[in-house]
């Protein structure tokens, strides 16, 4: 996203905020929305230039957070966003606040424009399109009566109990406000909320701000069930892609491939270094059916009680010892103690047979 150039006819070493904004708009906005709106007023008066990425960096938000805030203020008719034919953001027009009760506009400063010197950013263009198409509702501040009515539902009581076990703390009124938002505005089922919190806790995240961000991401991607959420999580799981790459795969993992990887990490309980070792041996051994081949190796290591990479070295050493013993046994001998038939074991073939079971 390119730089946004601000133009105006006069300069003031101060920022004027309408009383209407303070009286009627400020109370319903969250921190990010307030910061971004006030910052737009500030740079308007100073004839400064900025960009979406600059605003995100200044307030430690994501570019999506900034776009979501801009979309919110556009819905409040305090600014309008201008897009080109390719849905690139090219302008922001600041509007005068109007009374929500009377519709009267109180003019304090001239309407100004933020003109974008656009530099294409494909990822950000996708985010803009997503926000426009999904129209994710803003989180309201529910009254205590609304929260109490929601909390007193039998199904909600059970959900809250489960969540408190996950988070290992009682839920605060702010936490309950977020849960009600997920249920009321995002239309998440109890099962999906349950899965959401479990998903975040499994990743070491118990902060409700993080939980809410994940929920918004799921809502934007049209996720409505725990299964869809699981599939979406697999799509972006770095471990899964790392293992895919280790097997020489660059495609999006199929459900069957994900099933293999989840078996190795969850059921077998292997750390990634053990799995990568199996992948390396698989790539050296075959170009076909690599998931099946790697699964045979890891299955045999599971049976052999392998837990760490050092355990593999012990198995390799034992295998090599047996192989050397077999080679020695094949050598002919002329003494009377070796006149009987020697066993002709092919330990390479044995290993292949084990892996093919």
* Domain segments of the chain as ranges: 3-134, 144-232, 239-338
Give the model's pLDDT for residue 34.
92
DSSP E strands in the chain: the ranges are 3-7, 49-50, 79-83, 89-94, 113-117
* Average pLDDT of every residue of the chain: 78
Mean pLDDT of 334-356: 52
pLDDT tens, position by position, 161-217: 999 999 998 998 889 999 999 999 999 999 999 999 998 888 788 888 889 888 988
**Considering only CA atoms, which of 192, 3, 14, 169 is closest in space to residue 91?**
3
Proportion of the chain above pLDDT 90, given as a percent: 21
Packing angle, helices 208-220 and 173-184, rounded to 10: 10
Judged by DSSP in three states, 226 sits in helix
Check pLDDT > 50 for residue 104: no
* Tokens coding 154: 């039998």
pLDDT tens, position by position, 255-269: 788 889 989 988 898
Mean pLDDT of 20-47: 85
Name which of 43-52, 97-106, 255-264, 295-304 the model is least confident about.
Answer: 97-106
Strand order in the sheet with 3-7: 49-50, 3-7, 113-117, 89-94, 79-83
Give the model's pLDDT for residue 351.
56
Name which of 175-179, 227-231, 347-351 the model is least confident about.
Answer: 347-351
Give the model's pLDDT for residue 112.
36
Residue of 291 and 3 predicted with greater confidence: 291
Give the model's pLDDT for residue 19.
86
Give the model's pLDDT for residue 110.
36
Give the model's pLDDT for residue 320.
81
Alpha-carbon distances, residue 18 vs 41, 127, 133, 206, 273 (angstroms): 11, 31, 31, 38, 59
Check pLDDT > 60 for residue 295: yes
Neighbours of 322 (CB within 10 A): 13
Q: What is the pTM assigned to this prediction?
A: 0.39
Q: What is the CATH number of domain 3-134?
A: 1.10.10
Check pLDDT > 50 for residue 128: no
Cα 180 to Cα 185: distance, rounded to the nearest angstrom: 8
């Amino acid at each position: 996203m390119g730089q946004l150039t601000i133009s105006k006819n006069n300069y003031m070493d101060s920022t004027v905020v309408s009383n209407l904004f303070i009286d009627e708009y400020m109370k319903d906005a969250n921190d990010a929305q307030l910061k971004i709106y006030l910052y737009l007023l500030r740079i308007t008066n100073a004839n400064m230039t900025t960009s979406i990425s600059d605003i995100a960096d200044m307030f430690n938000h994501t570019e999506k957070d900034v776009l979501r805030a801009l979309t919110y203020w556009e819905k409040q008719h305090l600014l309008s966003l201008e897009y080109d034919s390719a849905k690139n953001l090219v302008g922001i027009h600041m509007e005068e606040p109007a009374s929500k009760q009377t519709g009267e506009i109180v003019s304090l400063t001239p309407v100004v424009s933020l003109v974008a010197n656009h530099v294409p950013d494909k990822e950000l263009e996708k985010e803009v399109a997503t926000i426009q198409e999904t129209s994710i509702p803003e989180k309201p501040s529910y009254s205590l009566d609304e929260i109490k009515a929601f909390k007193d539902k039998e199904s909600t009581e059970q959900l809250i109990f489960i969540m408190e076990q996950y988070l290992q703390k009682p839920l605060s009124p702010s936490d309950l406000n977020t849960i009600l938002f997920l249920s009321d505005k995002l239309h998440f089922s109890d099962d999906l909320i349950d899965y959401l919190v479990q998903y975040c806790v499994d990743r070491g995240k118990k902060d409700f701000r993080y939980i809410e961000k994940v929920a918004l991401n799921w809502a934007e991607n049209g996720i409505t069930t725990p299964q869809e959420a699981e599939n979406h999580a697999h799509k972006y799981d770095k471990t899964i892609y790392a293992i895919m790459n280790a097997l020489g795969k660059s495609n999006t993992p199929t459900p069957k491939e994900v099933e293999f990887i989840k078996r190795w990490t969850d059921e077998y309980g292997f750390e990634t270094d053990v799995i990568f070792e199996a992948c390396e041996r698989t790539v050296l051994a075959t170009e076909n059916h690599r998931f099946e081949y790697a699964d045979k190796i890891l299955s045999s290591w599971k049976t052999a009680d392998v837990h760490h990479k050092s355990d593999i070295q012990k198995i390799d050493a034992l295998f090599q010892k047996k192989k050397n013993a077999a080679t020695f046994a094949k050598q002919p001998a002329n003494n009377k103690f070796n006149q009987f038939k020697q066993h002709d074991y092919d330990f390479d073939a044995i290993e292949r047979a084990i892996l093919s079971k």
